[in-house]
Structure 1
Amino acid sequence: MAPRDATALALDPENALREEAQALNAQYGELDTPKLLETALHRLYPGKIALVSSFGAESAVLLHLLSEVDASAPVLFVDTRKLFGETLRYRETLVARFGLTGVRTITPDDDELAEADPQGALWLKDPDRCCHLRKVLPLDRALNGFDAWMTGRKRFQSSTRSKLELFEVAEGRIKINPLANWSVEDLKDYAARLDLPPHPLVAQGFPSIGCMPCTDKVAPGEDARAGRWRGADKVECGIHLPTHGREIDGSGI
């Protein structure tokens, strides 16, 4: 079971979770990734943890590692209904290749879309609200019943992720970043050694892949996430910001 103090959680839940994350980093921060996954899935949060995956450019490595530990573990995939067709087909490829049986596809609420984005063009005038409607709120609902969740974020991806901890706190849950300290070379070496299929858009100049209207190709020398919401003062979809699920914030998996 997770090292939770019921009294501390009741009195000051956010502080208790922060202390829990600190303790987890101290105790498990040196584990290699497979052992970290096994510990999180089977010892700390059995039946109460999910991996959130975009099935994007770098997703195959973590999904394969997860499948080696527990192919039935819950995997939450948010289909915003604005994704590239290549991403949807890539999801099916990886599910079949790795034998993943716990993948759940999450979609926006039809009534909320009808009210807030009836023409499907909200991304043009208010990308923050579009992300909130199509990604943040669906994931927030899907995480009900889970005590913790895992992401594929890495420190090298951007300045906003440069100090990622393996264990952190988000919205009343522990959030785990098993690949936080992996480098680009680590990912490439693992994928090559296991012959993991790449996302088909990577070879076309998309090193970071989100929704089709808000993802651009990246020029040589640019930051890998430079093509996300190009021209906008926006670097995250909202899922990984502190206000996740509470307000329109404009923050990716």
Structure 2
Amino acid sequence: MVSAGSTLVRPRPDAPAVMPLSTQQEVAEAAREMDGAPATTILRWAWWSIPRFCVTSSFGADSATLLSLVAQVDPDIPVLFLDTGFHFEESLTYRDTLVERLGLRRVVHVQPWLSVEDQASLHGDALHDRDPDACCQIRKVAPLDQALEGFDGWATGVRRNQASSRQTTPVVQRVVKGGRSLLKVAPLVNWTAADVAGHRRLHDLPPHPLTLRGFGSIGCQPCTSPVAAGEDPRAGRWAGTTKTECGLHLGPTRRSEDE
């Protein structure tokens, strides 16, 4: 695993010199054309068309699916992992297991500027309980925005059926990060939970250890809890609050949608 500032974070030598889809109309047309295309086709297009391209992954409950497709297309695709300082130990172990199992060669370790201890000194203990939006901004959104300064586009594992806030997610869209316009790609946008489970079985991908203990969606330890049988998998994220998204994925008018 390498840091975000590593020289491994670079475009391919044969990467295109010009960003594709320069107008919003071209982006919309590409989204329509690729909606329904195989995930590997979408991912391969992004890798070969976007000059500096990466994939983000939480190494959470469903992350193995997208990462296995990354390995199929090219294990040299950079994978950005946000280490918030609040991950379950099981998630960190799972990350290492998948990296080795899939042969991923460019996993980029992204950390917030503030350590957990520094955040507590500045904002008080348990900011995640008192103001989870502020905690997510410090430990997730701001670090990712900074890490993406070195890229022109990225892919996520967001799926439309994961939450109501994701039902209109396009396959490709243009978003603004840090004042820059980037392409955001969602290769799995049309996949269902059954598709993900089937892919995992077909390719013998190991499950996240916490899914065996009732966790349906896995984020930071203080804000993640198990769910009951039949309950929405994301019900264990920020349970007991109105918060449903961390803010990593920007929609046209709102800061929402994380894996």
| TM-score normalized with structure 1 length | 0.87
Q: Structure 2 vs 1, CA of residues 40 and 220 (structure 1 numbering), >3 Å: closer, same or farther?
A: same
Q: Does 2:162 correspond to 1:157?
A: yes
Q: CA deviation at 1:170?
A: 2.1
More moved, 117-126 vs 235-244: 235-244
Q: Does 2:135 correspond to 1:130?
A: yes
Helix, strand or coil at the partner of 1:238: coil
Q: CA deviation at 1:31?
A: 2.3
Q: Does 2:94 correspond to 1:90?
A: yes
Identify the residue that residue 201 of structure 1 maps to in structure 2: 210
2:84·2:220 contact (CA, 8 Å) conserved in 1? yes
Helix, strand or coil at the partner of 2:158: coil
Helix, strand or coil at the partner of 1:109: coil
Identify the residue that residue 177 of structure 1 maps to in structure 2: 186
Aligned partner letter, 2:20: P
Q: Structure 2 vs 1, CA of residues 143 and 89 (structure 1 numbering), >3 Å: closer, same or farther?
A: same
Q: Structure 2 vs 1, CA of residues 83 and 158 (structure 1 numbering), >3 Å: closer, same or farther?
A: same
Identify the residue that residue 145 of structure 2 maps to in structure 1: 140
Alpha-carbon distance in structure 2 between the residues aligned to 1:90 and 1:145: 26
Q: CA deviation at 1:225?
A: 0.5
Q: CA deviation at 1:240?
A: 1.4
Aligned length: 236
Cα shift readout 1:71-98 (whole Å, capped 9, x = no counterpart): 0111000010001000000000000001
Identity across the alignment (%)? 42
- Structure 1 gaps of 5+ residues are 6-15
- The two structures, once aligned, show a CA RMSD in angstroms of 2.1
Alpha-carbon distance in structure 1 between the residues aligned to 2:100 and 2:140: 25
Identify the residue that residue 66 of structure 1 maps to in structure 2: 70
Alpha-carbon distance in structure 1 between the residues aligned to 2:116 and 2:90: 26
Identify the residue that residue 233 of structure 2 maps to in structure 1: 224
Aligned partner letter, 2:160: R
Q: Structure 2 vs 1, CA of residues 238 and 113 (structure 1 numbering), >3 Å: closer, same or farther?
A: farther
Identify the residue that residue 9 of structure 1 maps to in structure 2: none
Q: Does 2:120 correspond to 1:117?
A: yes
Q: Does 2:24 correspond to 1:24?
A: no
1:112·1:133 contact (CA, 8 Å) conserved in 2? no
- Structure 2 gaps of 5+ residues are 1-15
Q: Does 2:59 correspond to 1:55?
A: yes
Q: CA deviation at 1:173?
A: 1.2
Identify the residue that residue 5 of structure 2 maps to in structure 1: none
Which ranges of 4 or more aligned residues in structure 1 deviate by more than 4 Å? none
Cα shift readout 1:34-61 (whole Å, capped 9, x = no counterpart): 111111101x114x11100000000001
Alpha-carbon distance in structure 2 between the residues aligned to 1:207 and 1:139: 24
| TM-score normalized with structure 2 length | 0.85
Q: Structure 2 vs 1, CA of residues 30 and 124 (structure 1 numbering), >3 Å: closer, same or farther?
A: closer
Identify the residue that residue 45 of structure 2 maps to in structure 1: 39
